[in-house]
């Protein structure tokens, strides 16, 4: 059969979900493809994947697997809130800008309140101002602080920053949820234990990304406070997020965690983003927008350069963050891909 993408000569940097399935995830899926196994998560693969996550996080967390990040975030937030509550997040947060209102939908009306802050990270004084500005019955009560790690603009919160955010939230009786679509990229960037960035820093629920790390599909919702996980299985089922052949979502987690590929993949993506950043910084007219701490580089460049790049066949987003172009590296990115992109940008900058 002819592969319609055979003509594709180079990688694209539009998103880390343009990449394929990494070998470790693929092999684990194949290993799970034997005989008959019971369904809906009641199987040895799913049990082993959960056990691995408990080891990685060094605690008896409760784990659920869902199909994608929008569902993970929305259902996690819905489980922490009542309909008259509110969630505080950064104005660039994926839950606010890229989930089509799913958090509000699945929580039957919980309102997202957004705050500003430099480099995709919220400013805590601003968070406190939003928490305390009203306490009357006409205002949706703040109940959850949601933070993204790594952030939408490729920066990371340090464990101290996460701890300070959690302390603030807890002081007002709020819970803390972390959108970890690129959690592995943050782990290798900070070089800290996953526990230090989550429950030891006050995070109650983590939505842990699998797809952008090298899996085909699947994210894990990790409850560090097991009491909060009560009846979450019903929530997943009602939302159409309970996979009947769950083993094919859970087995790749075993492959990624057992081999260490989840960190290897993230390290490689971060490394190539660092190289890209360094090379782009030397091109006249191109300006790096945020400190690169994970696997993306955001640049400002003249409109003519962006247009020339697009007409040369390069895809990239310019609606994420505050304008500019986002170039995202993945587990699959090679040094050669990076050099090809840099060449293309350099040529575009020269002619325009
Ligand atoms: C990609 C992403 C998600 C998940 O998105 P889905 O397309 O629903 O899987 C969640 N949060 C962030 C920050 C993301 O970049």
- The DSSP result for 51-94, as a single string, is HHHHHHHTS--EEEEES-HHHHHHHHHHHH--TTEEEEEETT-H
Query: What does residue 247 show for φ and ψ, rounded to 5 degrees?
Result: -60, -25
Q: Please report the atom of ligand 1 found closest to the CA of residue 219.
A: 9
Q: Please report the atom of ligand 1 found closest to the CA of residue 151.
A: 13
| Ligand 1 centre distance from Cα of residue 51 (Å) | 24
Q: What is the pLDDT of residue 257?
A: 98
pTM score, whole prediction? 0.96
For residue 322, pLDDT beyond 70: no
Provide the pLDDT confidence category of residue 323 given band limits of 50, 70 and 90: low
- Residue having the nearest C-alpha atom to atom 4 of ligand 1: 69
| Ligand 1 centre distance from Cα of residue 69 (Å) | 5
pLDDT in tens, 50-103: 999 999 999 999 999 999 999 999 999 999 999 999 999 999 999 999 999 999
Nearest to 261 by CA among 315, 330, 307, 310: 330
pLDDT in tens, 29-43: 999 999 999 999 999
pLDDT average, residue stretch 332-338: 96
Q: Which two tokens stand for residue 37?
A: 């196994």
For residue 215, pLDDT beyond 80: yes
Q: What is the pLDDT of residue 224?
A: 98
pLDDT in tens, 139-179: 999 999 999 999 999 999 999 999 999 999 999 999 999 99
pLDDT average, residue stretch 206-217: 98
| Ligand 1 centre distance from Cα of residue 98 (Å) | 8
Residues 328, 14 contacting (CB under 8 angstroms) = yes
- Residue having the nearest C-alpha atom to atom 6 of ligand 1: 69
| Ligand 1 centre distance from Cα of residue 70 (Å) | 6
Choose which residue among 19, 95, 151, 209 to substitute to test ligand 1 binding: the one with the highest number of ligand atoms within 8 A of its C-beta: 209
| Ligand 1 centre distance from Cα of residue 341 (Å) | 24
pLDDT in tens, 267-299: 999 999 999 999 999 999 999 999 999 999 999
Q: What is the pLDDT of residue 145?
A: 98
The set of protein residues with a Cβ atom below 6 angstroms from ligand 1 is 68-70, 94, 148, 152, 179, 181, 211-212
Q: Please report the atom of ligand 1 found closest to the CA of residue 68.
A: 9
For residue 15, pLDDT beyond 60: yes
Residues 255, 25 contacting (CB under 8 angstroms) = yes
Q: What is the pLDDT of residue 50?
A: 98
Cα-only R_g, the chain:
21
Helix (H) or strand (E) holding 267: helix 261-281
| Ligand 1 centre distance from Cα of residue 71 (Å) | 9
Mean pLDDT of the residues in the chain: 95
In the chain the domains, ranked by start, together with CATH numbers, are: 6-19+262-351 (3.90.1150.10), 23-259 (3.40.640.10)
Q: Which residues of 293-322 are buried (b: 16+ CB within 10 A; e: fewer)?
A: bbbbbbbbbeeebbebbeeeebebbbebbe
């Amino acid at each position: 059969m002819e592969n319609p993408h055979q003509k594709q000569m180079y990688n694209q940097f539009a998103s880390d979900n343009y990449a394929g399935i990494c070998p470790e995830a693929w092999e684990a899926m194949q290993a799970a493809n034997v005989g008959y196994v019971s369904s809906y998560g009641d199987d040895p693969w799913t049990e082993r994947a959960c056990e691995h996550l408990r080891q990685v996080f060094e605690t008896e967390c409760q784990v659920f697997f869902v199909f994608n990040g929008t569902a993970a975030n929305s259902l996690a937030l819905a489980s922490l809130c009542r309909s008259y509550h509110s969630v505080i997040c950064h104005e660039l947060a994926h839950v606010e800008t890229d989930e089509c209102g799913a958090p509000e939908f699945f929580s039957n009306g919980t309102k997202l309140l957004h705050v500003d802050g430099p480099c995709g990270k919220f400013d805590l004084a601003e968070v406190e101002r939003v928490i305390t500005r009203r306490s009357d019955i006409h205002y949706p009560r703040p109940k959850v602080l949601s933070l993204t790690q790594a952030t939408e603009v490729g920066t990371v919160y340090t464990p101290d920053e996460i701890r300070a955010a959690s302390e603030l939230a807890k002081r007002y009786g709020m819970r803390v949820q972390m959108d970890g679509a690129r959690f592995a990229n943050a782990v290798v960037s900070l070089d800290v234990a996953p526990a230090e960035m989550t429950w030891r820093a006050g995070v109650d629920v983590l939505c842990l990304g699998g797809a952008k790390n090298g899996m085909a599909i699947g994210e894990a919702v990790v409850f560090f406070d097991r009491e909060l996980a009560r009846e979450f299985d019903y929530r997943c089922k009602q939302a159409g997020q309970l996979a009947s052949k769950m083993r094919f979502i859970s087995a790749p987690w075993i492959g990624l965690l057992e081999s260490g590929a989840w960190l290897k993949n993230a390290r490689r993506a971060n490394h190539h983003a660092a190289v890209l950043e360094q090379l782009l910084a030397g091109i006249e007219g191109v300006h790096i927008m945020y400190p690169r701490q994970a696997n993306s580089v955001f640049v400002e460049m003249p409109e003519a350069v962006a247009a020339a790049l697009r007409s040369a066949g390069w895809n990239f987003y310019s609606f994420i963050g505050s304008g500019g172009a986002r170039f995202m590296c993945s587990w699959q990115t090679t040094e050669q891909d990076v050099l090809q992109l840099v060449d293309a940008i350099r040529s575009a900058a020269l002619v325009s």
